[in-house]
Structure 1
Amino acid sequence: MIGSLVHAYTPLIFWTGMGALLFKYLPQSFPRFLGRSLYWVGVPWQIFALVRETDFNANAGLAPAITIATLGTGLTIAWLTLQVLLWLKTVSKPTWLSAIDSWLPPLDRSSQGTFVIASMLGNTGFVGLGLIPALLGGGDMSWAVFFSVTQNLIGTYGIGVLIASHYGRSETQSSLWTLLRDLITVPTLWAFAASYTTQSIPFPEWGETLVHSSLLFVIPASFLLMGMRLIQLKGIESLKTATISVLLKALVLPTLVAIAVAVLGLNHDARLSLTIMAGVPTAFASLILAEEYNLDPDLAASSIALSTIVILATIPIWLLVS
């Protein structure tokens, strides 16, 4: 397990550090440009490659259904928690709550959107699929792959885009039409459709190489963006504001999933895969969506950083209970 974590985290640490070092030499607008480039080109490229090598015949019904249920649960918990936090703003705070005020997230409209997304979506691609093979020891990977594909399509670039579009605009500007327009123009969904329909068509060798070279560019670029945003944070104070979203994402949600898959009587590989995937760190896509839809990139970066640290402590727990 330690070897898997080292393997998964080494490029994260390297490229994030590079992003932090390079930031002061780059224009202030570059992080937003990089985030939008990932949204429109990088992530669709990566999804095209992932879909092309996915066997959609195995576990095609149950795994996506569990993933959608997990997304719905995460969204519900995040939204209810947000309503409680907003309500606390309107009442007289007891002394104990005022003492932990610095641990609460900012609650302006853009931060609300980031809070919900960061509490719901996980990094199932790089961290999840990077850890699962070693943790399963050659077991059934199909559950993890289907979880990752389903979350990316329905969660990140379906529900996530709707949330980002809604909170990235004022209430008067957010309408059903603008939400639908943003959804149907998501490039990742078009990339999925194109890859799925051409899955049986053999590409020339250079074409396959080009498709699968996405990992050489998209993941490092995502980490560079994270480093550029982390270097702008105000130290530990910024990380403290991500505490609640990380607790929901890294502890509450995977605990509920672990209970659910045990009740369903799934085998060990399925239980471990689904629990780990539910508890992976906050998705890098939360930062990409924050850049594209003018949400709160600081809260997104803080949630990613803190949840990436927390998973070091939670993985042994999920191994034990699964």
Structure 2
Amino acid sequence: MQQISLAPVDGVHITTLMDNSSDALLPDEGLVRRWGLNGTASPLAVIPAELAEEKQSYDFLRAEHGFSAMLEAGGRRLLFDTGITRDGLVGNLDRLAIRPDSFEAIVFSHGHFDHTMGLNGLAARLGPTHVPVLLHPDFWLRRRIVSPDRTLEMPTPSRSAIEGAGFTIAEERQPSFLLDDAVLVTGEVDRTTPFETGMPAGHQAFRDGEWAPDRAVHDDQAVVLHVRDRGLVILTGCGHSGIINIIRYAKRLTGVSRLYALLGGFHLRDGPVVAETVAALVEEAPRVLVPAHCTSWQAQQALAAALPGAFRPNAVGSRFEL
């Protein structure tokens, strides 16, 4: 594999705009600034409250089963995923006083609806726009989950609707760059570990006129930065490629051997893969570890126990200043 040159940055801020957890009581913790009663990331939003003596109250960030994050480097902003509901992401942007028109580009980790459907509300707020949207060609696949008692067909992003809203779609299987070569979008990740086997067989995609197992979720991709003198920062959506596969692929691509921070969904649920992944992460020795979204409580406990100095709980509004 030919290495690519990823321009180092002096630092990056990653703010969680949507996740499964909202905790207004988390305090600041070193490089993490929290939003809420005990944090300093942003003041609390005030809303009308007719039944209060002062006729006002405080608004709090919403959590949902979805993921979205803002990446800031060199004074420029990218949006990574958009959560699941029409009003979830845009509502939290309002509460955090972040202008929706301040993003230079949107990167989608993959096509699952809990990472994409918040684009509906963002598009309505922005109006006609030419913001580029980076994604893998398999992003458009129809998908469903088949279990013994039911079949759930997932909402599928619409190319015509997204283009009709004015977004400029950029499809790429291979790695690509943003922000003057400072941000790497991995594209399709090589699968090399024996223990990261992907989704259950009940996860299916519609290809060539029929439903078939889609364990690999080939459109799963991450974004990577190189913080000068510290190492790689990797942000994932769900980590369907396998979180260790993603780390090793990013290292091979960039030639940077040190992992500084790993944030996002790890899609670790249960079974032997949890212990094997935790053991591999201990060897990688990240300084900052933020498992989010689709990382089970069992896996979070195992990661916190194995890497107590690196582990940081995530919550909506947390800003990681790396």
Give yes or no for TM over 0.5.
Answer: no
Relative contact order: is structure 1 or structure 2 higher (C-alpha 8 Å, sep ≥ 6)?
1
Q: TM-score, normalised by structure 1?
A: 0.29
Q: TM-score, normalised by structure 2?
A: 0.29
- Choose between structure 1 and 2: higher helix proportion: 1
